[in-house]
Amino acid sequence: MRFRRRGSGPEGQPSSIASATSPRFLCAVHASGLAFDEAQRSAIARLAEPPTHGFYLWGPVGRGKSVLLDLYYGAVPTSRKRRFHFHDFFRDLQAEIAAARKPVEASIGGILGSARVVLFDEFHVHDVADAVYLTTTLEVLAARGILLLATSNDEPRGLMPNPLFHERFLPAIALIESRLDVVSIGSGRDYRRDVAGGSGFGGGSWEVDAGAPGGQPAGGVDLTINGLVVRAAAADGTAATFTFAELCDRPLGTGEYLRLADRFARIRVLAVPDLSSVGCDPLTRLCRLVDVLYDRDRRLDVRAAGAPRRMLDAREPPLDAARTLSRLAMLEPRREGAGCSREGAFTGGGEAPSAG
């Protein structure tokens, strides 16, 4: 599909919507009272320049990407706008395709409805199932003339980093780079560490206990999640407890974690081994679980044999380690039998994890 670059377009086209948004966005930035650093001010200046089709705002964790696009999205002068978390959109799309048995394009259109502006938050592609539909989704957005906004930790070329699938994903990367204004927010301070608990997890803790037992606790209850039986050590109406082995050693995906987050306000994970000894696949599942619970504002309590940063010492650390460590730093650090600082609990040493 070829895209025609639009200049000033008729009302409702991306360029006209963006032109109307720009002054409102700058007013919202000023009214927010937030203090922005130099890299963030540079990104704000770029966002104030009306794009042709949309923005792809990327940069390290904790740099304010979501804050800036929240302000931009709120300034868009239309009610015909939709905001999706990336994982949620593709979960809903796969369910729509399976239930309605319609063509992919029609299913995408059904989810988008009459939207003229779409925001994808946390745009990252490591799941092959999501990657399969992303190119078609981008084509549908373009054909409908929708203004697309996206935040990501990765530059477009860094999406789908798995070398087994990256080449197949190049058409989607080309669409992003040709269709959207790619804006880097730059490296710098991770502001999420300044206000632990202010966003993300709805509370939680990471308890380091070197003697934490492994294995599946006696008893428990079987939960059916997306047709799979997942064994919980305990569960009630609002909270559930699982072992690391049950949630991360088994081949569960983002869809299963989303269902758990929809069902329970608190998740407790026990018997987490020293992460330096864990393989890449279980570590990747842990990263996805953390993403889902963080984005859903769910409480996460973990009892582990070591600090989160130990995942960096694994033979093959997960691709999303930096983002995961930044998010886990929001949890209250604890150590069995002794007090400990946030830095000591999360690094095993004297420095807080660096996401940049």
What is the predicted pLDDT for the residue at 86? Answer: 80
Classify residue 113 by burial, with Cβ atoms within 10 Å: 0-12, 13-18, 19+: exposed
Distance set, CA 58 to CA 77, 190, 296 (Å) = 24, 14, 21
Structurally, the chain folds into a number of domains equal to 2
Q: Which residues are bridge partners to 240 per DSSP?
A: 235, 267
Judgement on whether residues 309 and 198 belong to the same structural domain of the protein: yes
Domain C-terminal end among 126, 154, 184: 184
Cα 4 from Cα 343, distance rounded (Å): 51
Provide the domain limits for residue 234: 192-345
State the virtual CA torsion across 145, 146, 151, 154 in degrees, nearest 10.
-30
Instruction: Note whether 161 and 281 are same-domain residues.
Output: no
For 208-257, the pLDDT digits (tens) are 987 665 555 667 899 998 788 999 999 998 999 999 999 999 989 888 89
* The dihedral sign for the CA sequence 188, 192, 193, 195: positive
Please tell me the predicted confidence (pLDDT) of residue 216.
Answer: 59
Q: Is residue 298 domain-shared with residue 250, that is, in the same domain?
A: yes
Q: The pTM is what? A: 0.65
Run means of pLDDT, 10 residues per run, the chain, 356 residues = 39 74 94 89 93 89 84 93 86 82 88 94 75 87 93 87 79 90 78 50 88 64 89 93 96 87 94 95 93 90 96 91 88 67 44 36
Question: Do residue 335 and residue 225 come from a single domain?
Answer: yes
Rounded Cα distance, 288 and 285, in Å? 5
In a domain, 294, yes or no: yes
Which H/E stretch holds residue 38? helix 38-47
The 10s digit of each residue's pLDDT in 35-44 is 888 999 999 9
Q: Do 179 and 245 fall into the same domain?
A: no
Residue 1 in domain: no
Residues 6+ apart with CB under 8 A from 121: 66, 69, 83, 84, 85, 86, 150, 151, 295
Q: Which of 184, 218, 245 is the last residue of a domain?
A: 184
Does any domain span residue 200?
yes
Average per-residue pLDDT for the chain = 83
Report the b/e string of 154-177 with b at 16+ CB within 10 A. bebeebbeeeeebeebeebbebbe
Per-position b or e across 75-103, b if 16+ CB within 10 A of its CB: bbeeeebbbbbbbbbbbebbebbeeeeee
CA distance 233 to 268: 10
- 143 and 236, same domain (yes or no): no
Residues 176 and 68 grouped into a single domain = yes
Given this model, what pLDDT does residue 219 score?
Answer: 72
Is residue 156 located within the same domain as residue 236?
no
Closest CA to 152 of 47, 66, 72: 66
φ and ψ of 15, to 5 deg: -65, -40
Residue 76 lies in a domain: yes
What's the CATH number where 21 sits?
A: 3.40.50.300
Same domain for 141 and 22? yes
CATH code for the domain in which residue 204 is found: 3.40.50
- Structural domain contains residue 350: no
Whether 249 and 289 share a structural domain: yes
Sequence-ordered strand ranges (E) for 80-201: 81-85, 117-121, 147-152, 181-184
Sheet with 147-152: list strands edge to edge.
Answer: 81-85, 117-121, 147-152, 54-58, 181-184
Determine, yes or no, domain membership for 91: yes
- Token pair 């966005």 is at which residue? 25
- Return the structure tokens found at 96: 């729509």
Among 166, 184, 202, the domain boundary falls at: 184
Asked whether residue 149 falls in the same domain as residue 248, the answer is: no
The token pair that represents 239 in the structure block: 């909270």
Does a structural domain hold residue 108?
yes
Answer yes or no: is 285 within a domain. Answer: yes
pLDDT of residue 208: 94
Do 247 and 100 lie in one domain? The reply is no
